[in-house]
């Protein structure tokens, strides 16, 4: 079983209009307190031997925008992680970055510090679309950032895209895909926009100044993404993820395969020793709890072996390879069998070579299928 470490950096320069993640606007004093608390959290886990001496296969810095921290600050966190936990020799170490926040010099120092995979939140290559979601980024920023990362030594680069954005047309989506492919990343993630409560887009929707994403257009955009990316040599290995052969994101695969991970930083989630637990979504409580020498865990649920198996199955269905039919059959009770049979009959799931997976049609209803099976 693989093991991962996730570090949540809860700062961004501004909040994008679709974003519902826990974060605060970047400020030096907030960053200073965060770094002190994160360091305490890492030390506490090392003292408690939370990872039981196991080696880390992956480390993932996500957010927020981790690159709102300076390169020295990011390198110092990674150094402490390496001192307190042990990494596999070829561990995947990912850093999420906003294209506007990186330079070639910075990328070089991050690569030398041990980061070996970079994931850029690009979302769109169209400036008007970017403005509509609150990102004042030049359309050339992604290209410049990818170039800087590559010159600094990063081979493994991901670009995140969103389809169904306000004002986005099929034509502009195709142009975004085309430009993305032209930058030759090793990995591309394409997410359908959903409007979540608490976001600026949610408010706009209720005030009538924006529309719900058009589901038919989003489906057509997804089809085009599959076809263009596949033609360009990418393999779709999960509903939203495409990679060049050998470059699937190992960290994200931990989640879908039911492997374990420890999450640090406010709002980070963990799955360790059969327990799911989360860190408080509030920086002040996070600081205070750690100052008193305690872990700021807000909820902890111990899963029964049966729940663990079912979660592994449901997450595994998101993968194009699907999930092992043997594990599925082991978990069957009468009710589950009926739900599964119905999903197979409806053509939303399929059985193939000893594995069960979602069909093309099923992938469009992935979240509802998960709710039915959990």
Give me the residues that bind ligand SF4 (CB under 6 A), please.
12, 15-16, 19, 21, 23, 63-65, 98, 121
Least Å distance, CB 121 to ligand SF4, is: 5
- Provide the 10 A C-beta neighbour count for residue 329: 11
> Which residue's CB is nearer to ligand SF4, number 3 or number 95?
95
Both structure tokens of 103:
């330079």
Cα distances (angstroms) measured from residue 126 to each of 120, 160, 185:
16, 14, 18
Q: What is the 3-state secondary structure (H, E, C) of 229-272?
A: HHHCCCEEEECCEEECCCCCCHHHHHHHHCCEEEEECCCCEEEE
DSSP state of 21: S
Both structure tokens of 238:
């999960």
CA dist., res. 42 & res. 51, Å (int) = 11
> Which residue's CB is nearer to ligand SF4, number 15 or number 139?
15
> Which residue's CB is nearer to ligand SF4, number 24 or number 298?
24
Least Å distance, CB 223 to ligand SF4, is: 25
> Which residue's CB is nearer to ligand SF4, number 65 or number 270?
65
> Which residue's CB is nearer to ligand SF4, number 3 or number 201?
201
Least Å distance, CB 160 to ligand SF4, is: 9
Q: From 35, 19, 22, select the one nearest 278 (Cα to Cα).
A: 22
> Which residue's CB is nearer to ligand SF4, number 68 or number 289?
68
Least Å distance, CB 266 to ligand SF4, is: 13
Q: What are the φ and ψ backbone dihedral angles of 120, each rounded to 5 degrees?
A: -95, 130
> Which residue's CB is nearer to ligand SF4, number 14 or number 227?
14
Least Å distance, CB 100 to ligand SF4, is: 9
Give me the half-sphere count of Cα atoms (radius 13 Å) on the Cβ side of residue 98.
22
Strands in 187-192's sheet, in edge-to-edge order, are: 235-238, 241-243, 187-192, 156-163, 117-123, 86-97, 55-63, 3-9, 260-264, 269-272, 275-279, 297-302
Least Å distance, CB 200 to ligand SF4, is: 10
Contacts of residues 207-210 at CB distance under 8 Å and 24 or more positions apart, as own/partner, are 210/166
> Which residue's CB is nearer to ligand SF4, number 57 or number 100?
100
Least Å distance, CB 65 to ligand SF4, is: 5
Least Å distance, CB 134 to ligand SF4, is: 7
Least Å distance, CB 158 to ligand SF4, is: 14
Asked whether the bond before 64 is cis by omega within 30 degrees of 0, the reply is yes
Least Å distance, CB 133 to ligand SF4, is: 8
CA dist., res. 194 & res. 181, Å (int) = 24
Both structure tokens of 101:
């926040």
Per the CB < 8 A criterion, the answer to whether 65 and 265 are in contact is no
DSSP string across 63-76 = ES-GGGS-HHHHHH
> Which residue's CB is nearer to ligand SF4, number 6 or number 85?
6
> Which residue's CB is nearer to ligand SF4, number 12 or number 69?
12
Pairing assessment for the beta strands 11-12 and 55-63 based on DSSP bridges: unpaired
């Amino acid at each position: 079983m693989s093991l991962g470490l996730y570090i949540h950096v809860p700062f961004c320069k501004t909040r994008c209009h679709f974003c519902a993640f826990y974060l605060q606007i970047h400020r030096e004093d907030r960053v200073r307190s965060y770094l002190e608390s994160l360091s305490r959290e890492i030390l506490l886990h090392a003292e408690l031997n939370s990872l039981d001496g196991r080696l880390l296969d992956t480390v993932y810095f996500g957010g927020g925008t981790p690159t709102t921290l300076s390169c020295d600050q990011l390198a110092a966190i990674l150094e402490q992680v390496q001192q307190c936990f042990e990494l596999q020799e070829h561990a995947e170490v990912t850093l999420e970055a906003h294209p506007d926040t990186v330079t070639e010099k910075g990328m070089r120092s991050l690569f030398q510090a041990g980061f070996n995979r970079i994931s850029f939140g690009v979302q769109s290559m169209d400036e008007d679309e970017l403005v509509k979601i609150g990102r004042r980024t030049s359309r050339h920023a992604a290209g410049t950032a990818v170039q800087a990362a590559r010159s600094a030594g990063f081979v493994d680069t991901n670009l995140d895209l969103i389809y169904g954005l306000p004002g986005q047309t099929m034509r502009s989506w195709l142009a975004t895909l085309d430009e993305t492919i032209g930058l030759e990343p090793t990995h591309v993630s394409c997410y359908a926009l959903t409007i979540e409560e608490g976001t600026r887009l949610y408010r706009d929707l209720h005030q009538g100044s924006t529309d719900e994403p058009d589901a038919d257009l989003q489906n057509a955009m997804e089809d085009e993404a599959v076809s263009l990316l596949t033609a360009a040599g990418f393999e779709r290995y999960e509903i939203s993820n495409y990679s060049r052969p050998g470059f699937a994101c190992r960290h994200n695969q931990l989640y879908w395969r039911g492997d374990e991970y420890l999450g640090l930083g406010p709002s980070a989630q963990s799955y360790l020793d059969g327990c799911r637990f989360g860190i408080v979504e509030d920086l002040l409580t996070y600081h205070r709890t750690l100052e008193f020498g305690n872990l700021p865990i807000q909820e902890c649920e111990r899963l029964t072996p049966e729940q663990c198996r079912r979660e592994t199955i449901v997450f595994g269905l998101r993968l194009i390879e699907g999930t092992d039919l043997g594990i599925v059959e082991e978990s069957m009770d009468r009710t589950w069998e009926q739900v599964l049979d119905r999903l197979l009959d409806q053509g939303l799931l399929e059985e193939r070579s000893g594995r069960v997976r979602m069909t093309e049609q099923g992938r469009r209803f992935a979240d509802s299928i998960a709710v039915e099976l959990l």
